[in-house]
């Protein structure tokens, strides 16, 4: 007697997916590389070759409706919250050219000393206590302070801005949209940034918000709505994903002590630690696109206007690209990871995120000889796009 397993099912809203999506991803790559979900009206691409091709093909896959399935975040006004992440060329090209000058590798490199100072400002008091929450006391604070200092949010407001950003990305079990608390938080953030834009227009400072008000290319300037959308993108996407990267690195190095020992034994290996974490358990698990034309892929027809999820987390575990993909291995070649996308929409903040993670974790390994995590008190973030930890209780032994 033979038995057949049930057809694979996938929903980014399912809490079990938030806990561990990777077995489902493996089945999708094998059994349904173009997966159809009728309930939420999307197709999903899970293989590295298909995800990478979709990222690079802006003529066939559009960003103009946003990158999230959430009804309130999907549609022609998505750019108001997610800036050029929800724009196609030529509007995307214009917006990126106006803000991109502030995120060149040389500009980011100039921030290294300040990022290190911010990291130590939070790290040293936590290490002195010996026990602390790696997320609340360090990983959540470093990226928020870096972004806030960059755009001009004063220190007194940063904890509240982070709290609001957390609410925007959190998803309630069984609620298939941004919950009311998240909606309210988004409106509060928009209002806060409007006030900040008004203040900088009246009295410019040495920060990114003032620079965006002055940005000009061939006489073209940014509107208030465009600046606020970019600031919102920075605090939600730029802050949240880097926080999750730091937390995921900390968790997986603890879970795989043989690999963690490589970084703690040689601080030069921290870059490998960051890159393998980006591959193994990336912060951004999926991004939405909408097809501009009918297409057929792996024998499945997708109509024009079809909503397609690009499963970044699955692509980074594709066995055709990464041998033994479920092994956390700091020695592997991670050059083909797609954690920051590819092509015209490659994440502009990637150099900054990588630098923050490298500096933050390097300062940790310089001071910590070993650590333990209280597995019973770990809390996971519940979000359809972002994967990471909300609480990571840690005890450290210092060098």
Percent of the chain that is helix, strand, coil (3-state, to 5): 55, 15, 35
Query: Is the per-residue pLDDT at 176 higher than 60?
Result: yes
More confident residue, 94 or 306: 306
pTM of the predicted protein model:
0.92
The two structure tokens encoding residue 88: 């196609």
pLDDT band for 222, please (50, 70, 90 cuts): confident
Q: What is the pLDDT of residue 214?
A: 87
* Least-confidence region, from 101-110, 240-249, 335-344: 101-110
Mean pLDDT confidence for 377-394: 92
- % of the chain exceeding 90 in pLDDT: 68
What is the per-residue pLDDT for 4? 56
Reported as a single tens digit per residue, the pLDDT across 11-33 is 999 989 999 999 999 999 999 99
Do 305 and 290 contact (CB within 8 A), yes or no?
Answer: yes
For residues 107-131, average pLDDT: 94
Burial class (CB in 10 A: 0-12, 13-18, 19+), 385: buried
CB 336 within 8 A of CB 281: no
Number of CB atoms found within 10 A of residue 193's CB: 23
CA 79 to chain centre: 17
pLDDT in the model for residue 215:
80
Contact 249, 277 (CB under 8 A): yes
Beta bridge partners of 284: 386
- What's the pLDDT at 171? 67
Q: What is the mean pLDDT of the chain?
A: 91
Contact 315, 51 (CB under 8 A): yes
Task: Annotate 68-104 with b (16+ C-beta within 10 A) or e (fewer).
Answer: bbbebbbeeebbbbbbbbbbbeeebebbbebbeeebe
224-243 burial string, b = 16+ CB within 10 Å, else e?
eebbbbbbbbbbbbbbbbbb
DSSP 84: G
Domains of the chain: 15-398 (1.10.630.10)
**pLDDT of 104:** 76
Average pLDDT over residues 102-131: 91
Q: CA-CA distance, 155 to 158, in Å (whole number)?
A: 5
């Amino acid at each position: 007697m033979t038995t057949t397993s049930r057809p694979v099912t996938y929903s980014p809203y399912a809490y079990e997916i938030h806990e561990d999506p990777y077995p489902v991803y493996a089945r999708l790559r094998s059994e349904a590389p173009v997966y159809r979900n009728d309930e939420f009206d999307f197709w999903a691409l899970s293989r590295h070759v298909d995800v990478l091709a979709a990222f690079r093909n802006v003529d066939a896959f559009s960003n103009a409706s946003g990158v999230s399935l959430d009804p309130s975040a999907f549609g022609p006004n998505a750019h108001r919250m997610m800036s050029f992440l929800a724009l196609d060329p030529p509007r995307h090209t214009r917006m990126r050219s106006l803000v991109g000058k502030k995120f060149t590798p040389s500009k980011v490199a100039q921030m290294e000393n300040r990022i290190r100072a911010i990291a130590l400002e939070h790290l040293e008091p936590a290490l002195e206590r010996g026990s602390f929450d790696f997320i609340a006391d360090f990983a959540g604070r470093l990226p928020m302070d870096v972004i806030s200092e960059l755009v001009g949010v004063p220190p007194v407001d940063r904890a509240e801005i982070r709290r609001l950003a957390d609410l925007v990305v959190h998803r309630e079990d069984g609620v298939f949209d941004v919950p009311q608390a998240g909606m309210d938080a988004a409106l509060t953030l928009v209002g806060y940034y409007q006030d900040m834009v008004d203040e900088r227009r009246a009295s410019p400072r040495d920060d990114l918000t003032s620079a965006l008000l002055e940005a000009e290319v061939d006489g073209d300037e940014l509107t208030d709505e465009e600046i606020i959308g970019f600031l919102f993108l920075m605090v939600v996407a730029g802050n949240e994903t880097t926080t999750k990267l730091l937390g995921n690195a900390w968790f997986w190095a603890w879970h795989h002590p043989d690999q963690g020992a490589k970084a703690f034994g040689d601080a030069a290996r921290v870059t490998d630690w960051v890159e393998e974490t980006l591959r193994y358990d990336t912060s951004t698990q999926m991004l939405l696109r909408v097809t501009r034309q009918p297409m057929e892929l792996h024998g499945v027809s997708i109509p024009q206007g079809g909503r397609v999820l690009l499963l970044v987390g699955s692509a980074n575990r594709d066995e055709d690209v990464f041998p033994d993909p479920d092994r956390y291995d700091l020695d592997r070649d991670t050059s083909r990871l797609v954690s920051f996308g590819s092509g015209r929409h490659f994440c502009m903040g990637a150099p900054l995120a990588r630098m923050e993670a490298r500096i933050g974790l390097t300062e940790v390994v310089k001071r910590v000889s070993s650590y333990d995590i209280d597995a019973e008190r770990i809390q996971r973030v519940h979000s359809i796009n972002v994967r990471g930890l909300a609480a990571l209780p840690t005890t450290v032994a210092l060098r």
